[in-house]
Amino acid sequence: MPEQEYNLQGADPMLPRFLRVRRAVVETHDTITLELDDSNAAPQFAPGQFNMLYLFGAGEVAISISGPPDDRQTLVHTIRGVGAVTGPILQLRRGAILGVRGPYGSAWPLHEVSNGGRDLLLMAGGIGLAPLRPVIYEVLRRRREFGNLTILYGARTPADLLYRGELAQWRMFPGVSVKLIVDRAAGVWSGRIGVITDLLRTVQFDPAETIAMICGPEVMMRFAYHELVRRGLAAERIYMSMERNMKCAVGWCGHCQLSPFFICKDGPVFRADRIQPLLATREL
């Protein structure tokens, strides 16, 4: 089944609206979550989509939407400061103004999971939990429509884990399992140390009743995909969210082209059998 698209209809795709920061939450030493006041005719988004955020004097960057899909008053993005645009965005606090274009791109296929109450397996690495967070919100809001929810999340260190309070809350819901792992640990850490595929080997799931969604570094997604297939999950039941250097968000500029695909327009969410072969090809 092709990925769904929820792009703006009848609007200039290059014209931003300007929103005020309602709240800035410091997640880690290099990551914040910005809650933007979007109470005036906010366009609806679907989990997995992204916006283009514009900061005066710095530029524009593509950031996944990480808030609840049913909240039409607040637009949420979790941002890691790694460049010339995201670095200055990390300094923003309440009252600051950001330009926003979007939402753009394809969405996670929640309709496939809720149809028949299938189980959902989420695998996230680092900032990759942010694009999956709206999925978790939606599954918990519509809990009876879904089967078991398993969340596997890996980070570099315990200090790099996002949404710590929510991770603890999510595992309290019936049928929800949250497992964490870090690459390395210093100080007090009683959890697992290793890579996310180590976590996957501790999980039991029915390949015939499970949909997997993966988001994180490409190398992590590649290994996760192969382990899922080895465990019997069909490639058609695995979805990945890709990241590329997006400039226009509508497929005009070509910056995010990956062979026949434009990540901004055809993705960022892809069914794994369509995108996985390209991940192993050098210099694409």
Per-residue pLDDT tens for 181-198? 999 997 788 899 999 999
Q: CATH 2.40.30.10 occupies which residues in the chain?
A: 17-104
pLDDT of residue 3: 40
Say whether pLDDT at 9 is over 90: no
Supply the pTM of this predicted model: 0.92
pLDDT of residue 1: 37
Q: Report which of 63, 64, 67 is spatially closest to residue 22, judged by C-alpha positions.
A: 67
Question: What span, in angstroms and rounded, lies between the C-alpha atoms of 109 and 141?
Answer: 16
Instruction: Look at domain 110-279 and name its CATH class.
Output: alpha beta
Q: What is the pLDDT of residues 37-91, one digit of tens each?
A: 987 766 789 999 999 999 999 999 999 999 999 888 899 999 999 989 999 999 9
Q: Give Cα separations from 243 to 47, 105, 164 (angstroms).
A: 15, 12, 24
Q: Which of 61-70, 95-104, 129-138, 179-188 has the lowest mean pLDDT?
A: 179-188
Question: What span, in angstroms and rounded, lies between the C-alpha atoms of 13 and 38?
Answer: 18
Q: CATH 3.40.50.80 occupies which residues in the chain?
A: 110-279
CATH of domain 17-104: 2.40.30.10
